[in-house]
C-alpha cells in the first residue's frame, strides 16, 4: 500500500479571531484576562485549540492547563512530540507570569529550560500542566511548570524566564 492508499485520520478545529483578546492586552490586569478566557468571555488562544487543550484553571501566580494526550500529538516514535510537551509547559509558565501583571504591563518568554522525565502517550490520559511563580521582579519573572499524567506521575518540567515590560497604550 502506498502512502496515499493508507487509511488516514482527519482532524478539524476552529478558533476565534485572536484580535479580540489582543485588543484587551494592557487594558485589564492579566489575572482578569485569563479568568475571562477561562469563563468563555474571551476566546482561548488559537494555540490551545490547535493542540487540543480542553481548559485551564487560574489564580494569581498559578495556572493549570489541561489537555488529553492524543494520537495526533505523536512523533515517529509513537509518543507525544516534545514540542507539544514544551508548548504546554511554556503556556503554563507564561500564563502564570501573566496572572501576576497589572493593567498596562505585558511579558514575553526569554527562555524555556525543559526536562522530559517519562514518555507521554495516549495511555497518559488527561495531562495536567501546573505553573507557579519562582521569582518576580520589576523586569523579569521566573516561573516553573510541571506536567503530570492522569495518575499524577511527573512526566516533564520546565523553568522559564520572562521579560516584563510596559505596554504602550494607543
**Averaged pLDDT in 10-residue chunks for the chain of 170 residues:** 72 91 88 95 93 96 98 97 98 98 96 98 98 97 98 98 91
Q: Where are the domains positioned within the chain?
A: 28-166
| Inter-CA distances, 115 with 56, 66, 90, 140, Å | 22, 19, 12, 22
Give the C-alpha separation, 109 to 59, whole Å.
20
Give the C-alpha separation, 17 to 45, whole Å.
9
What pLDDT was estimated at residue 1? 47
Superfamily of chain region 28-166: Hotdog Thioesterase (3.10.129.10)
| Inter-CA distances, 4 with 7, 8, 12, Å | 8, 9, 19
Tell me, what DSSP letter sits at residue 73? G
What pLDDT was estimated at residue 151? 98
Reported pTM: 0.93
What pLDDT was estimated at residue 4? 60
Amino acid at each position: 500500500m502506498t502512502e496515499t492508499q493508507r487509511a488516514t485520520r482527519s482532524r478539524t478545529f476552529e478558533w476565534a479571531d485572536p484580535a479580540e483578546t489582543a485588543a484587551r492586552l494592557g487594558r485589564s490586569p492579566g489575572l482578569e484576562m485569563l479568568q475571562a478566557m477561562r469563563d468563555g468571555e474571551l476566546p482561548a488562544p488559537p494555540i490551545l485549540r490547535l493542540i487540543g487543550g480542553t481548559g485551564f484553571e487560574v489564580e494569581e501566580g498559578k495556572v493549570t492547563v489541561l489537555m488529553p494526550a492524543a494520537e495526533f500529538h505523536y512523533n515517529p516514535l509513537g509518543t507525544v512530540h516534545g514540542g507539544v510537551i514544551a508548548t504546554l509547559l511554556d503556556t503554563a509558565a507564561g500564563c502564570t507570569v501573566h496572572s501576576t501583571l497589572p493593567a498596562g504591563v505585558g511579558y514575553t518568554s526569554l527562555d524555556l529550560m525543559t526536562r522530559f522525565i517519562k514518555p507521554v502517550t495516549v495511555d497518559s490520559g488527561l495531562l495536567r500542566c501546573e505553573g507557579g511563580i519562582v521569582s518576580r521582579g520589576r523586569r523579569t519573572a521566573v516561573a516553573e511548570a510541571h506536567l503530570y499524567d492522569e495518575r499524577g506521575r511527573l512526566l516533564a518540567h520546565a523553568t522559564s524566564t520572562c521579560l516584563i515590560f510596559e505596554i504602550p497604550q494607543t
